[in-house]
Amino acid sequence: MARSLHLGHLYDATLDDPAEHVTVTIDGDRFGAVTTRSDDRLGDEDLDLSPYFGLPGLIDAHTHLGQALPVAAIRDEGLLSIASVAAGIFQNCELALDAGVTTARDLAGLDGGIVQAIDSGVVRGPRIYPSGPALAQTGGHGSGHTPYRMTDAALCIPGLFQRALVCDGPDGVRLAARTALRRGATQLKVYGSGGVVSFADGPRDVHFTIEELKAAVEEAAARHTYVTSHAHNSEAIRRGIAAGVTCFEHGTYLDEPTAELMANAGASLVPTFMVLEVMRRRSESWGIGPGLLERMAGVGEAMQKALSLARDAGVRIGSGSDLLGPQQIGRAFEIELKTRIIGFRDALRAATIGNAEIMGLAADLGTVESGKLADLIVVDGNPFEDPAVLTDPDKIKVVIKSGVVVKDIRS
């Protein structure tokens, strides 16, 4: 039976402005009519949310819900039980849902096992699109290789978590891609450049040849999906575009000609600001040394420029928190940081309909419109006036996922 929600305000993430006094009906797992109402009569099944502000369920297109260990502990992961690892992952999933994230694209680690666990209803969490183990080249970012030790086998728990598969050469990449897909990957993630938190490379380094990237793209296409590439620099993006990669993460050192190339190719950019801030704040407790902090300096500023360039070139922009570690909270801080560059409406659209388009899910997700899956969050406060309300889980009063109320802390 359909039920109605009476909201004080709703921003549906279409190009319109927020509307006042809106009634949203939910029929099964989908939105029915969305109308401006003239009276306030409530049926038994209806929810009076008139003091609050409604938004589409948030989508985080770059999560690491499975990387539930502090960065410094990754090297000690052999000391942890599978139970502890699973507990940390489930806690992160629950925190994401309570933060209003109804859909997450997990980029390195989680596989189809976690999707099964959440869909069974035993564990609370977002609707997850996992990448399974990400594809990393020998010695490259994400491989876990330090200069003098190869740790390929680091934390491989089929059905739960494996951070990366190390692969080289087109055939090696093909095998790794097929393995990730076997483990339930709904898209492939490759590490196309070096990284900030890396042991044997830097963010200006380029990983994988075009031929290697092509092998991943072919395997993804054969399974009707796509490849997204961790790419901090323009050369990594250019190689990706030449190979048919359609989505790029971070984009820190993006230049103007490459932004234009991305726009012409219809490629998307998922900038990730907040993780740098979180790591800086937690540097002491996570054991992040001065060398790494120095490397992080300047990355945020470069990424701000990259976002402006990409937006001006007409590149589709998504949103990802890239949060790492245990007890991942304050996920919407990413939206707050982007608001400072592109304004709240575009920052929110990046984290809803922008991400839905990138993931090929715009027919079902990303806006509050009749016929789409009923994912909605109900906020105490006006996020257009103060985006910070979204970072406080106590202000996210109600979360609805596929028409089901999965959080309600109004009383």
Query: CA torsion sign, 260 to 312 to 367 to 64?
Result: positive
Nearer to Zn ion, 61 or 313 (CB): 61
Quote the least distance from Cβ 288 to Zn ion, whole Å: 16
Shortest distance (Å) from residue 141 CB to Zn ion: 10
Distance of closest approach, residue 324 Cβ to Zn ion, in angstroms:
7
Q: In this chain, which residue has its C-beta nearest to Zn ion?
A: 322
- Candidate ranges 111-119, 221-229, 320-328, 373-381; the one touching Zn ion (CB under 5 A): 320-328
Window contacting Zn ion (CB under 5 A); options: 26-34, 35-43, 192-200, 321-329: 321-329
- Reading the block at residue 323, the tokens are 């949060």
| Partners of residue 161 on adjacent β-strands | 110, 157
Closest CB 62 distance from Zn ion, rounded Å? 6
Stretch in the footprint of Zn ion (CB under 5 A) among 35-43, 142-150, 214-222, 314-322: 314-322
For residue 219 the two structure tokens come to: 């395997």
Whose Cβ is closer to Zn ion: residue 175's or residue 302's? 302
Task: Kindly tell me which of 271 and 403 has the beta carbon lying closer to Zn ion.
Answer: 271
Identify which of residues 98 and 322 has a Cβ nearer to Zn ion in the complex. Answer: 322
Label residue 373 left, alpha or beta by phi (over 0 means left) and psi (-120 to 50 means alpha). Answer: beta
Question: How many whole angstroms from its chain centre is CA 265?
Answer: 22
> Using the rule CB under 5 A, is 375 a contact of Zn ion?
no
Window of 125-133, 281-289, 316-324, 383-391 that interacts with Zn ion by CB under 5 A: 316-324
Enclosing H/E stretch for 10? strand 3-10
- Judged by DSSP in three states, 350 sits in helix
Q: How far is residue 333's CA from residue 278's CA, in Å, rounded to a whole number?
A: 10
β-pairing, 376-379 vs 47-56, is antiparallel
Give the chain's radius of gyration (CA, Å).
21
Q: What is the DSSP string of 206-256?
A: B-S-HHHHHHHHHHHHHTT--EEEEEEEHHHHHHHHHHT--EEEEEEE--H
Beta carbon nearer to Zn ion, 220 or 324: 324
Q: In angstroms, what is the minimal distance from the CB of 63 to Zn ion?
A: 8
Contacts of 96 (CB under 8 A, 6+ apart): 60, 63, 65, 104, 125, 126, 328, 331
Q: Which two tokens stand for residue 147?
A: 């200069």
Residues 6+ apart with CB under 8 A from 212: 137, 168, 169, 170, 172, 173
When asked if residue 205 is in the footprint of Zn ion (CB under 5 A), the reply is no
Contacting range for Zn ion; rule: CB under 5 A; set: 158-166, 240-248, 322-330, 402-410: 322-330
Q: Smaller CB distance to Zn ion: residue 190 or 406? A: 190
Q: Output the smallest distance, CB 272 to Zn ion, in A.
A: 7
Size of the residue set binding Zn ion (CB under 5 A) = 1
Pair of tokens at residue 57? 């369920």
322 vs 336 by CB, closer to Zn ion = 322
322 in contact with Zn ion (CB under 5 A): yes
Nearer Cβ to Zn ion (52/253): 253
Single out the segment in contact with Zn ion by CB under 5 A; choices: 165-173, 182-190, 216-224, 317-325: 317-325
CB of 196 to Zn ion, least distance (A): 10
Residues that bind Zn ion (CB under 5 A): 322
